[in-house]
Amino acid sequence: MAGHDYDLFVIGGGSGGVRAGRLAGAMGKRVGLAEEYRMGGTCVIRGCVPKKLFVYASQFSEHFEDAAGYGWHVGDIHFDWPTLIANKDREIERLEGLYRKGLETNGVTIHDSRARLIDRHTIELEATGQQVTADQILIATGGSPNLHTDLPGHELCITSNGAFHLHSLPKSIIIAGGGYIAVEFANIFHGLGVDTTLLYRGQKILGGFDEDLRDHLQDTMIAKGIRVICHQVFDRIERRDDGRLNAFLSKGEQMVVDQVMLALGRHPNTHGLGLDAAGVETDRRGSVVVDDYSRTNVDNIWAVGDVTNRMQLTPVAIHEAMCMLETAFKDNPTKPDYDTVATAVFSQPEIGTAGLTEAEAAERHGDLEVYKTTFRPMHNVLPDRKEKMMMKLIVDAASRIVVGAHVIGPGAGEMAQLLAIPLKARCTKDHFDATMAVHPTAAEELVTLYKPTYLVRQGERIAA
Ligand code: NDP
């Protein structure tokens, strides 16, 4: 180990890489970290954080509408996109500085450079041509948007990366995809007053989520005025003489819009990393193949986060990094725990979910009791906003354990974080029933659902 420049070299300064570098530095390890762009990775620079700031910005249009029901008169309202972008950029710069400082104060040597593996212990820093060696190497290079290069006119489209830096707010946009990013951005742009269309190849948005959440969200988005087109894809995109775009859809419709955004999944950043030179195996998608401990087929090289084909979520990448350090440096082999990972979709209304969908639970547990409620949250009553909230608990009938909890409505993301705790602890429905309500809240519904709404037997819903 002493013969190498570093005990650990991390490639990639995103959520997983920074956490691994910082903690290894705090353990007294000699750590180097290379980042080619900005410290913080997708989450901080062009993902979760700026997205959430955009979500807040986009919610004001409804807040202004609702204000009248509470007696407020809001005068002329005006939204200024450059102000939002400038304030967002300032906050991202602040966070980036904190990430960098966290590494520096823990003695990590930062290389502002793209890095490439030369062999299983050697890394070349492209900015300087310098080569350094490390005993252990962690690949944490993340992923990037699928550019859909097969689509004629794909170069005229933006991805989520571009959406954070548009010079002006478009008047109209079509977003392709039905996953987290497409759905979140459709709601952001709609909330900011953009004429928004969502184009999805499947039957219903948000594949993989509980069916009731999918139905509720899709119906609510349509009711708000977002056009949702299913069972179609783009045929081609062309630039018009007036600078706008012609989007040709697969069933023949032609739409004229200011922007087209592709949110069609993300690819692992493995190209040009020197994985072949180091003998590191990748899969068909190009993701780094790892074992249960995040170790690649080369035993001193590890990978965490979106560059591997696991859950593409920031907290998961961070958890994987911490487990990797336990295994590699503390003689405490630790597998990341993927059971009951809660997640939120910052759509409007927001989704929060923990545990199994009804379909997954039926397959895994057989007989279920399902407790479901749909109601108008109190906040919506005075403004006469029709939008409803839905909550659903899925209970394994045999053990009474709550195996799934799904919420759509205001605060659902915050609720999902808290629901993940009793679900992780395998609490039963009786624990929920024995918990005193917090009144008046929306979340109190979760502990006052005394009678099942329906049962599930062999995958079929039957009356309770
Ligand atoms: P997702 O995997 O969530 O969704 C991709 C969407 O693109 C799917 O609807 C998919 O359709 C569709 N699609 C893929 N390829 C094509 C194609 N060739 N033609 C037409 N449609 C296509 O990816 P996202 O890009 O939305 O997000 C990437 C990841 O980032 C997510 O998996 C998530 O883990 C993470 N993320 C998390 C967030 C959060 O926690 N709130 C927010 C944003 C991102 P189909 O369903 O038919 O496969």
Q: 143-188: per-residue pLDDT in tens?
A: 999 999 999 999 999 999 999 999 999 999 999 999 999 999 999 9
In a domain, 334, yes or no: no
Residue 142: pLDDT band (50, 70, 90) is very high
In a shared domain, residues 174 and 212:
yes
Query: Mean pLDDT throughout 211-216?
Result: 98
Task: Tell whether the model's pLDDT for residue 9 goes beyond 90.
Answer: yes
Among 183, 181, 209, 179, which Cα is nearest to 196's? Answer: 183
Task: Tell whether the model's pLDDT for residue 117 goes beyond 90.
Answer: yes
Residue 1: pLDDT band (50, 70, 90) is low
Would you say the CB of residue 391 lies under 6 angstroms from ligand 1? no
* Å from CA of 199 to ligand 1 middle: 13
Amino acid, res. 447: V
In a shared domain, residues 443 and 370:
yes
Based on the residue annotation, tell me whether 439 is a catalytic residue of this protein: yes
What pLDDT does residue 401 have? 98
Q: What percent of the chain has pLDDT over 70?
A: 100
Which ligand 1 atom is at minimum distance from the Cα of 183?
Answer: 26
In a domain, 221, yes or no: yes
In a shared domain, residues 11 and 128:
yes
Measured between alpha carbons, how far is 159 from 261 in angstroms, rounded to an integer?
Answer: 5
CATH of the domain at 304: 3.50.50.60
Residue 24: pLDDT band (50, 70, 90) is very high
Which positions ≥6 away from 402 have C-beta within 8 Å? 355, 393, 394, 395, 422, 423, 427, 428, 429, 432
Catalytic residue among 73, 78, 167, 439: 439
In a shared domain, residues 235 and 325:
no
What pLDDT does residue 261 have? 98
Would you say the CB of residue 116 lies under 6 angstroms from ligand 1? no
234-289 pLDDT, tens digit each: 999 999 999 999 999 999 999 999 999 999 999 999 999 999 999 999 999 999 99
What pLDDT does residue 317 have? 98
Task: Tell whether the model's pLDDT for residue 44 goes beyond 70.
Answer: yes
Which ligand 1 atom is at minimum distance from the Cα of 413?
Answer: 41
Would you say the CB of residue 319 lies under 6 angstroms from ligand 1? no
In a shared domain, residues 311 and 239:
no
Which ligand 1 atom is at minimum distance from the Cα of 344?
Answer: 41
What pLDDT does residue 349 have? 97
In a shared domain, residues 316 and 453:
no
Task: Count CB neighbours of 241 within 10 A.
Answer: 5
In a domain, 338, yes or no: no
What pLDDT does residue 457 have? 96
Query: Mean pLDDT throughout 43-65?
Result: 97
Cα–Cα–Cα angle for 429, 434, 437, rounded to 5 degrees: 105
Among 373, 346, 369, 355, which Cα is nearest to 443's? Answer: 373
Tokens of 164: 């954070």
In a domain, 410, yes or no: yes
Query: Mean pLDDT throughout 58-64?
Result: 97
219-230 pLDDT, tens digit each: 999 999 999 999
Of 303, 329, 355, the position where a domain reaches its end is 329
Would you say the CB of residue 15 lies under 6 angstroms from ligand 1? no
Best mutation site among 183, 312, 348 for ligand 1 pocket (most ligand atoms within 8 Å of CB): 312
What pLDDT does residue 169 have? 98
Measured between alpha carbons, how far is 247 from 265 in angstroms, rounded to an integer?
Answer: 20
Query: What's the Cα-to-Cα distance from 85 to each of 80, 89, 93, 191, rounded to whole Å?
Result: 9, 6, 12, 16
CATH of the domain at 407: 3.30.390.30
Which positions ≥6 away from 133 have C-beta within 8 Å? 3, 4, 5, 6, 121, 122, 123
Nearest CA to ligand 1 atom 24: 265
Nearest CA to ligand 1 atom 15: 264
Of 264, 298, 316, the position where a domain reaches its end is 264
What pLDDT does residue 151 have? 98
In a domain, 206, yes or no: yes
In a shared domain, residues 355 and 273:
no
* Å from CA of 316 to ligand 1 middle: 17
In a shared domain, residues 20 and 137:
yes
* Å from CA of 178 to ligand 1 middle: 6
Would you say the CB of residue 341 lies under 6 angstroms from ligand 1? no
In a shared domain, residues 106 and 209:
no
Mean residue pLDDT of the chain comes to 97
In a shared domain, residues 109 and 11:
yes
* Å from CA of 46 to ligand 1 middle: 16
Of 329, 355, 372, the position where a domain reaches its end is 329
357-380 pLDDT, tens digit each: 999 999 999 999 999 999 999 999
Which ligand 1 atom is at minimum distance from the Cα of 48?
Answer: 42
What pLDDT does residue 266 have? 97
300-358 pLDDT, tens digit each: 999 999 999 999 999 999 999 999 999 999 999 999 999 999 999 999 999 999 999 99
Would you say the CB of residue 305 lies under 6 angstroms from ligand 1? no
Which positions ≥6 away from 329 have C-beta within 8 Å? 7, 8, 24, 27, 29, 136
Decide: 314 and 48 in contact? Cβ < 8 Å: yes
Which range of residues forms the domain containing residue 299?
Answer: 6-145+267-329
Q: How many domains does the chain have?
A: 3
Q: What percent of the chain has pLDDT over 90?
A: 99
Residue 2: pLDDT band (50, 70, 90) is low
* Å from CA of 361 to ligand 1 middle: 23
Tokens of 192: 């900011």
In a domain, 72, yes or no: yes
In a domain, 1, yes or no: no
Would you say the CB of residue 185 lies under 6 angstroms from ligand 1? no
Task: Tell whether the model's pLDDT for residue 399 goes beyond 90.
Answer: yes
* Å from CA of 180 to ligand 1 middle: 6
Task: Tell whether the model's pLDDT for residue 23 goes beyond 60.
Answer: yes
Which ligand 1 atom is at minimum distance from the Cα of 345?
Answer: 41
In a shared domain, residues 252 and 199:
yes
Which positions ≥6 away from 252 have C-beta within 8 Å? none
Would you say the CB of residue 147 lies under 6 angstroms from ligand 1? no
Would you say the CB of residue 202 lies under 6 angstroms from ligand 1? yes
Decide: 133 and 120 in contact? Cβ < 8 Å: no
The model carries a pTM of 0.97
What pLDDT does residue 359 have? 97
In a domain, 337, yes or no: no
Measured between alpha carbons, how far is 41 from 26 in angstroms, rounded to an integer?
Answer: 21
In a shared domain, residues 243 and 288:
no
* Å from CA of 255 to ligand 1 middle: 23
Would you say the CB of residue 263 lies under 6 angstroms from ligand 1? yes
